[in-house]
Structures are given as structure tokens and as C-alpha cells.
Amino acid sequence: MNILQLSIEYPPETEGGLSTHLALLNAELVAQGNDVAVLALATSAKAPPDRVDGGISVHWFRPASFDWRTYFEILTSSTPDERERRLTEEITGCARVLIGQMRPDILHLHGYHLAQAALRLSVEFGLPLVWTAHSSPSMPLLYGDTASPYLLEQEQSLLRRCAAVIAPSVAVRDLLRSRCPHASAPVYVVYNGMDLARFQQPDTAGEVAALRRQLGGDRGRRLILYAGRLAREKGIIELVDSATIVQGVQPSARYVLVGSRTARHRDQQAPVADANVDAALVAHGERLGIDIRGFVEREKLPHFYAACDIAIVPSLFEPFGYAALEAMSCNAPLIVTDGGGLAEVARDGIDALVVKVRNENGRLRIDPRELAEAQLRLLSDPGLAANLARSAAERVRIFSARSMCDATLRVYGEAVARAVAAN
């Protein structure tokens, strides 16, 4: 099958969850004999040249009219304008060339920012359009924030006009259906895959021991690791509040935070910080001894998981939950919330301790006391921690690249059949 993908990011430009997902999916698609081309936004001035990488043809869209900061601002704007129309024209023109060269069977859109270009190309060339909803523009509403009416409209268009939609969890599928209950596009749940070899327990025991000493683990400290963006929706404020309770009972507990303020682009030296999270860390971080490590290369994360006693993912809502899978792959005793797809990744009392997220008047909230109780339980019961980690290491194997690819190919087949039946 010939597959053309549209995405706002791709490695090595960015290193977020979407890039990780695409790299893994495409490697498996090619391994199974499919031809894959990717058209991605060159979000920095240092974007590499177009290339064939592991059998995947990667093409970067470089706008003629704007620098990357300008057009990323356009793509995430609340209202469309003339600049957005011109940008869509440019992306569509670039994709037309690729379509003429490779004659794809499927057009696969990742994310919702390039919706207009994808919908136009689908109609123009009669291509079945598959959309993977890695997140939803309605998610800010879950946190009590406002959502962009324009981006919500793009989501509605995709749900009405795609041949098929892929959601990374039942939670995202249900969210999409609630936003557009009369959508004609079928929504399939395809769990993301995990590169298990990349996140297995590192063999470099010396490096892990040195890192633990650096973090204070050799001085009797119990180390609790958070790895992810330092943003409000990730539960960082509730985690800081819980730390006061935990240290009141377990004074040796210390927190290690690994992650940047926003998704990191290569030209982005000073990402915009979350003011609420920064305020909490400034007010309490030094008193609680919170060690903020900033951005860490993905290859180094297994060392942090191995060096710490507990990993915690306190998100209000996760479309899937890569951070949880990473911890599980590294045999780290884990605490998660049941926000979004996290409850589908880790089972309460089997693979992790799961803390409930409550909906209070349409806004998601976590009780810091319950978060603290889970941490204290694991810190005081090494047998339980070991059992959870052992089960989690087995559980993570079901989230393989092969199973993700097989399920995606089944959706492609359904989309093609649906398009044929419609014509």
C-alpha cells in the first residue's frame, strides 16, 4: 500500500509524542512492505534536507511567505485569516507534487492543524482520508480554559468528512463522539506502540549509580520522578501540593522533575512557560527540595527511571500515556491517574497505583491528598512496588509497534472499502 502522511512535526525536528509515534509506525509499515512518504512542517531554520530514511521518504514543507514562528502561530490561531489561506495553498501545492509522484492509496493526516489542506487534497484526488486524533482542540475545556472555535470547527469537519478516524484510546474516542455525536466517520481505537528496546533497563549500572548519587539517593533520599512537560494539565501543581503532605510523613522523599516547559523545537531556546506551574515551583520548589532537571534527551530517560524509587504521571487527561509506558518499560514502580488513556495503559493495583481524576462542574481535578497517599503507600511497601513493576514490564509488551501497525493497516483497508462503496 502507498501511504502519504501529513504532519506538523517529524524527527529530528521535534521530539514529542507525535514524532515518536510516527517514527515507530512508519518503520513498521515499511518493514511490512508498504511505501510511506511524509510531508512535515519544517519548524526551524535548521530542518534537514528531504531524504529517504529507512525506506521512508521524508519531505519538509518550507513556506515561501513566512518564517516558521509566523506560520506555526497561524496554524494554532483562533480565527482564520488571509495568511492561513495562503499557507493552506502552499502546503496543498507541495503535496500535489508528491501525490503525482507516488500515487498514494491513502492520505493519512496526523493532528488537526493541517485539516484544510488534507480535506482539499482528499476531494481533489479522490483519496480516502484517515485522520489520527492524537489530541483534541477541545481538551483545554477539560482544564477550565477556553478552546479555539476555529480549531473546534476543523475537528468537526474531519469527523464529518474523513473515511476513518483513529483515536489512541477509548477516552479520546469518547471525547470525539461527545463533541460531534452525529459524525459520519467511524472512529477506531488503535493504541500507540512502544519501542521497548529503547526503554529497557539500561545495562550501564555504573552510570545509573552515579546519577542516583548525584540526585542524593545515596544519602537515604527516596527519589520520586516526574518526566514530561511542566504544564498545568500534566498535574504538576497537584504534585507540588502532594509533596508537602508526603514529606510531612516521609521527610527523606525528594522530587526529580525532568522535562521542558513546552514541546521543544530545535530553534526554540526559551519556550513559553506555564505561569501557574512556575508560580507553584517558585513558591514551594526550594522548600520541598524539588530538583528541576529541564529537558533530557530521550536516550537518557531510562537512567533516570532506574535511578529513582518511584515514577509518577499525575496528568489530568492524557490522550494515551507514553510517559507511563516508558516507566513501565524500565521496571519503575508507577503511580498514574485515571485521566484519559492512562487508565487503559496501567491497571490499578496490578501494574500501578491509580489515582482518580474527578470532574467538578465540568473541570477535571485531582485531590493532592490521594496523590500523596499513593506515594506513601509505595514508599512504605517495597514488596508492592516490586510486584507492580514486574507486572507492568509484562503489560507493556502488548503495546508493540507490530500490533499498532497491524491495527492501522486494518483501518486503512476499511477506509479504502468505505471510499469504494461511496463511489
Which pLDDT score is estimated for 115? 92
pLDDT of residue 202: 58
Residue 332: give the domain boundaries. Answer: 197-398
Residue 413's pLDDT is what?
Answer: 97
First to last CA, the chain: 20
**pLDDT, position 421:** 86
Q: Are residues 405 and 393 in the same domain?
A: no
Backbone angles phi, psi at 265, to 5 degrees: -100, 155
Residue linked to cell 515499511: 30
Domain shared by 76 and 216, yes or no: no
Domain shared by 331 and 257, yes or no: yes
241 and 183 within one domain: no
Residue 300 has pLDDT above 70, yes or no: yes
Would you place residue 281 in the very low, low, confident or very high pLDDT band (cuts 50, 70, 90)?
confident
Spatial contact of 344 and 171, defined as CB atoms under 8 Å apart: yes
Task: Tell me the three cell numbers of residue 5.
Answer: 502522511
Q: What is the pLDDT of residue 68?
A: 55
Residues 291 and 392 occupy one common structural domain: yes
Whether residues 166 and 251 fall in one domain? no
Q: How many other CB atoms sit within 10 Å of the CB of residue 159?
A: 21
Query: Do 355 and 218 belong to one domain?
Result: yes
- If asked whether residues 109 and 211 sit together in one domain, one would say no
CATH number at residue 338: 3.40.50.2000
Residue 211 shares a structural domain with residue 270 = yes
| Predicted pLDDT at 278 | 77
Same domain as 246, residue 128: no
Q: How many structural domains are present in the chain?
A: 2
Mean pLDDT score, 289-315: 92
For 82, half-sphere exposure in the C-beta direction (CA atoms, 13 angstrom radius) is 1
**Which residues neighbour 367 within 8 Å (Cβ) at sequence distance 6 or greater?**
238, 355, 356, 358
Strand partners, 4: 37, 107
Please state the pTM of the whole predicted model: 0.91
Same domain for 306 and 418 = no
Q: Which pLDDT band, with edges at 50, 70 and 90, does 201 fall under?
A: low
Q: Does 182 share its domain with 137?
A: yes
Distance between CA atoms of 255 and 108, rounded to whole angstroms? 40
